[in-house]
Amino acid sequence: TNIIQGINNYRLQTEQKVAVTPMLFRAPFAVSQNQADASYIEQLGLSFVALRLNVTPETVDAQHQQLLRYVLPAAQNSLKVQLAEDAKRIKDNNVNATFYMTSIRAWPAENRVDIRGELKTWIGDSKPYSE
């Protein structure tokens, strides 16, 4: 019985899940040291998409800075260059863009999410066009 108790104690310490519902997320999710559930992966993916694609000349710099906080240091320099070029284009051309999600699917075992949708872009006072 001591062996079984030891195994159960170890599992409780290493496999404990915590259910969380932070601000701006629409549903609770569960995470552990080893894995996150589909809800967490979907909501995190949607947060990254929003930071990258829902932009205006006024918000683009702050959103790109926030996005870079989640990028591995080794990849930050090349992404900073790309984001700076995009931000300049957005500000110079008065671009407003919004991403409308049409579908989302997560694979928790692989920590992967597929988000599909339509990106609507306004340049200056023009009507939006879709990508």
Helix residue spans in the chain (DSSP H): 2-14, 38-53, 60-68, 73-92
Per-residue model confidence (pLDDT) at position 23: 47
Total domain count, the chain? 1
| Cut 0.75: pTM above it | no
pLDDT at 4 over 90: no
Q: State the residue range of the domain holding 63.
A: 35-130
Query: Rg of the chain's alpha carbons, rounded to an integer?
Result: 20
Of 67, 46, 48, 64, residue with least CA distance to 56: 64
Instruction: Tell whether 107 is covered by a domain.
Output: yes
Q: What's the pLDDT tens digit per position in 24-44?
A: 556 666 666 677 788 888 888
Instruction: Tell whether 56 is covered by a domain.
Output: yes
Paired tokens of 45 = 């993916």
Beta strand pairing status for 112-123 and 95-107? antiparallel
Are the C-beta atoms of 52 and 116 separated by less than 8 Å?
Answer: no
Instruction: Tell whether 18 is covered by a domain.
Output: no
What amino acid is encoded at 104 in this protein?
Answer: I
Q: What's the pLDDT tens digit per position in 6-28?
A: 666 666 566 655 555 554 556 66
Q: What's the pLDDT tens digit per position in 90-129?
A: 999 999 999 999 999 999 888 899 999 999 999 988 776 6
Distance CA 43, CA 63 (A): 17
Per-residue model confidence (pLDDT) at position 126: 76
Instruction: Tell whether 14 is covered by a domain.
Output: no
